[in-house]
């Protein structure tokens, strides 16, 4: 009798990787441009990034959808995207021969994703 | 006796095609830095105004700006490779004809530009 | 007019004489129509009869003369000396065990091909006695992936196969996808367990070099990654099955 072939759990990580890849390509460039380039260069008025305005934008309007969207599309999914590439990159560099790097990569992505969602939650309530 | 050469650890340096692949994979490293910045933003928002001001100061540090500029370039390089792969992984057929890859790539870039403009309007009140 | 001479280096391996491969350089006369396979034939006939290599059709259809040329997998018959004015180095296909000179052991590749059942499998709706018809629209879905000549160049281009020979690899996964997309085939359920393995479609990281080197324009990287979509779908469906 043939022994049943092992099914890979990769579809789960690949789906998260793909979703994160879309966010990395579509959302991240504009976010870096505005927050990390134009604002430091003084091309976005500092008043636009006051604590009150940002807090209101993220958690005050639309039941906090802004904050949830930023956490999901710019932190959680990109983190899983990065974890996937680093996990496979370690294999490419012949550095990963066990389950440990996989658990560390996706584990860290999960921990920091939960942290981001926790900070959004306590800002909301 | 057959002879089996072992693939060396630096195989990706031996051909520019492989080096570009590794560069694509490495775009996630500056991405992680920017994600770290955003995590810092969320944390400082929970801590109040003084902490938020410190985060804004951190974002203005020249070294941070330089690393984020690298992250921006990385995100655009990732976008280029990602958008070009998409029509090959998920070809879209309408009425028996495959949508041209160039059209799908252009539509994805339009998505990136639109999102950037939207974010500039919301965050910066620009345009 | 004296013929132009080109420096053609060939990696040799004669297990009965040497424990490791070594390189010998030959001077080969050439013109604009001299292929790398012509050069090998010249070396064997005029310079060194001990050289061993595989070849047959001379017209990029049998797929047997694949070699590394300056580090890139290519068909000897489809590559021309005129494109290498500084000379060239011919080595056996990478990632395979070398048997002798330019001859590699392709049995791993053949096992992987065999594993995905690359042929039409009949189902309960298959007419046994009548011809199986297919519309042009049904054929165009898999046609590009059907051009494979089993030359193995894509395996030499694939670092994932080089890192892990258990990985089914570009050609086998492409053929699996080719038959899964064929309207006359009923074998998808038999092939999916192979594709779903960690060494199936999930061994691929879309390096994409396989598609660059393919001499028939098959685009195996696209086929393998369409296979990922199919395998992920199969994964979700399996969760709802008892």
Distance from CA of A101 to the nearest CA of B (A): 16
pLDDT (tens digit, 9 = 90+) per residue, C75-117?
999 999 999 999 999 999 999 999 999 999 999 999 999 999 9
| CA atoms of A21 and A24, how far apart (whole Å) | 5
Residues of A in contact with C228 (CB under 8 A): 11, 14
Q: CB-based contact (8 Å) between C236 and chain B?
A: no
**How high is the ipTM of this complex?**
0.93
B63 touches chain C (CB under 8 A): no
- With cut-offs at 50, 70 and 90, classify the pLDDT of residue B126: low
| Cβ-contact C177, C226 below 8 angstroms | yes
User: Are C197 and A88 in contact (CB < 8 Å)?
Assistant: no
Residues A38-95: tens digit of each pLDDT: 999 999 988 899 999 999 989 988 888 899 999 999 999 999 999 999 999 999 999 9
What are the structure tokens assigned to A117, written together? 């969602």
Taking contacts as CB-CB distances below 8 angstroms, the residues of chain A near B106 are none
Give the minimum alpha-carbon distance from C75 to chain A in angstroms, rounded to a whole number: 27
Q: Which residues of A touch C117 (CB under 8 A)?
A: none
The reply to whether residue B14 touches residue C71, judged by beta carbons under 8 angstroms, is yes
Beta strand residue intervals within chain C, DSSP E = 4-12, 22-30, 66-69, 72-75, 88-91, 98-100, 103-104
Q: What's the CA gap between C231 and A11, in Å, rounded?
A: 7
C60 in Cβ contact with C37 (< 8 Å)? no
For the segment C37-66, what is each residue's pLDDT rounded down to a tens digit? 999 999 999 999 999 999 999 999 999 999
Local confidence band at C2 (pLDDT 50, 70, 90 cut-offs):
low
Residue C169 is given by DSSP the state -
Query: Would the CA dihedral through A86, A87, A90, A91 be positive or negative?
Result: negative
Dihedrals phi, psi of C80, to nearest 5 degrees = -120, 140
Q: What is the mean pLDDT of residues A105-125?
A: 95
Query: Is the pLDDT reported for residue C3 higher than 80?
Result: no
Record: contact C95-B21, CB cut-off 8 A: no
Report chain B residues whose CB lies below 8 A from the CB of C229. Answer: 89-90
List, as one string, the DSSP characters of B29-42: HHHHHHHHHHHHHH
Any C CB within 8 A of B97 CB: no
**Nearest-angstrom CA–CA distance, B6 and C72:** 17
DSSP bridge pairs for C28 = C6
| Residues composing chain C | 242
| C112, C202, C209: best to mutate for the A interface, most A CBs within 10 A | C202
- Residue B127's pLDDT band, with cuts at 50, 70 and 90, is low
What is the sign, positive or negative, of the torsion defined by CA atoms of C57, C59, C62, C65? positive
pLDDT tens, position by position, B18-44: 999 999 999 999 999 999 999 999 999
Note the residue count of chain B.
Answer: 127
Decide if B89 and C226 are in contact by the 8 Å CB cutoff.
yes
CA-nearest of A81, C140, A115 to B41 is: A115
C15/B contact by beta carbon, under 8 A: yes
Instruction: Give the whole-angstrom CA distance, residue C100 versus residue A36.
Output: 58
What whole-number distance in Å separates Cα of residue B35 and Cα of residue C226?
30
pLDDT at C241: 80
Mean pLDDT over B61-74 rounds to 97
Nearest C-alpha in A relative to B6: A94
Can you say whether residue C168 is alpha, beta or left, with left for phi > 0 and alpha for psi between -120 and 50 degrees? alpha
Query: What is the DSSP secondary structure assignment for residue A9, as one 8-state letter?
Result: S
B-chain CB neighbours of C159 within 8 Å are 7, 11-12, 18
Q: How far apart are CA A96 and CA C177, in angstroms?
A: 29
B43, B53, B112 member nearest A25 (Cβ): B112
Q: pLDDT tens across C132-177, in order?
A: 899 998 999 999 999 999 999 999 999 999 999 999 999 999 999 9
B86: confidence class by pLDDT, cuts 50, 70, 90: very high
Q: From A37, A50, C123, select the one nearest B75 (Cα to Cα).
A: A37
Per the prediction, chain C carries an average pLDDT of: 95
- Mean pLDDT rounded to a whole number for chain A: 93
B94-114: average pLDDT: 92
User: What is the per-residue pLDDT for A1?
Assistant: 46
For an interface test with A, give the residue of C112, C168, C191, C193 to mutate (most A CBs within 10 A). Answer: C193
What percentage of chain C exceeds 90 in pLDDT? Answer: 92
- Distance of CA B66 to CAs A32, A39, B30, B63, B71, Å? 11, 13, 11, 5, 9
Tell if the CB–CB gap between C202 and A8 is shorter than 8 Å: yes
H-state helical runs in chain B: 16-26, 28-47, 49-60, 62-89, 101-124
**pLDDT surpassing 70 at residue C68:** yes
Instruction: Please report the pLDDT score of residue B35 as a whole number.
Output: 98
- What was the pLDDT predicted at C235? 95
pTM equals: 0.94
Average pLDDT on B4-12 reads 93
- Separation between Cα atoms, residue C155 and residue C167, nearest integer Å: 10
Q: Does A95 touch chain C (CB under 8 A)?
A: no
């Amino acid at each position: 009798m043939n022994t049943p072939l092992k099914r890979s759990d990769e579809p789960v990580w690949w789906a998260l990787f793909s979703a994160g890849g879309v966010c990395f390509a579509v959302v991240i460039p504009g976010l870096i441009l505005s927050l990390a380039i134009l604002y430091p260069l003084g091309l976005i008025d500092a008043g636009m990034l006051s604590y009150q305005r940002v807090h209101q934008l993220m958690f005050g309007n639309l039941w906090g959808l802004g904050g949830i969207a930023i956490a999901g599309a710019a932190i959680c999914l990109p983190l899983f995207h990065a974890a996937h590439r680093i996990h496979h990159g370690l294999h490419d560099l012949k550095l990963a021969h066990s389950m440990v790097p996989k658990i560390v990569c996706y584990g860290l992505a999960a921990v920091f994703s939960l942290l981001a969602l926790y900070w959004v939650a306590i800002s909301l309530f | 006796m057959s002879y089996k050469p072992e693939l060396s650890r630096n195989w990706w340096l031996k051909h520019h095609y492989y080096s570009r692949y590794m560069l694509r994979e490495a775009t996630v490293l500056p991405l992680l830095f920017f994600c770290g910045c955003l995590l810092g933003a969320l944390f400082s928002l929970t801590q109040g105004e003084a902490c938020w001001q410190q985060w804004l100061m951190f974002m203005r540090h020249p070294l941070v700006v330089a690393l984020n500029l690298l992250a921006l370039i990385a995100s655009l390089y990732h976008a280029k490779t990602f958008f070009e792969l998409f029509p090959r992984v998920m070809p879209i057929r309408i009425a028996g004809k495959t949508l041209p890859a160039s059209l799908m790539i252009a539509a994805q870039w339009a998505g990136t530009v639109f999102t950037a403009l939207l974010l500039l309007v919301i965050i910066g009140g620009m345009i | 007019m004296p013929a132009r001479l080109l420096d053609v280096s060939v990696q040799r391996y004669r297990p009965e004489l040497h424990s490791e491969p070594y390189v010998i350089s030959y001077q080969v006369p050439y013109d604009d129509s001299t292929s790398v396979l012509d050069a090998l034939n010249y070396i064997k006939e005029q310079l060194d009869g001990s050289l061993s290599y595989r070849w047959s059709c001379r017209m990029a259809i049998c797929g047997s003369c694949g070699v590394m040329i300056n580090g890139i997998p290519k068909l000897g018959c489809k590559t021309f000396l005129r494109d290498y004015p500084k000379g060239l180095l011919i080595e056996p296909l990478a990632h395979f065990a070398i048997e002798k000179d330019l001859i590699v052991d392709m049995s791993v590749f053949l096992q992987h091909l065999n594993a995905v059942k690359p042929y039409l499998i009949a189902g309960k709706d298959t007419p046994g006695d009548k011809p199986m018809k297919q519309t042009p629209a049904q054929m165009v879905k898999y046609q590009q992936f059907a051009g494979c000549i089993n030359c193995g160049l894509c395996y030499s281009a694939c670092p994932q196969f080089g890192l892990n020979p258990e990985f089914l690899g570009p050609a086998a996964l492409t053929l699996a996808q080719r038959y899964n997309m064929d309207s006359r085939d009923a074998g998808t359920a038999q092939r999916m367990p192979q594709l779903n393995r960690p060494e199936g479609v999930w061994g691929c990281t879309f390096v994409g070099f396989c598609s660059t080197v393919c001499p028939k324009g098959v685009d195996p990287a696209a086929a393998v990654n369409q296979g990922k979509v199919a395998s992920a779908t199969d994964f979700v469906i399996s969760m709802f099955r008892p």
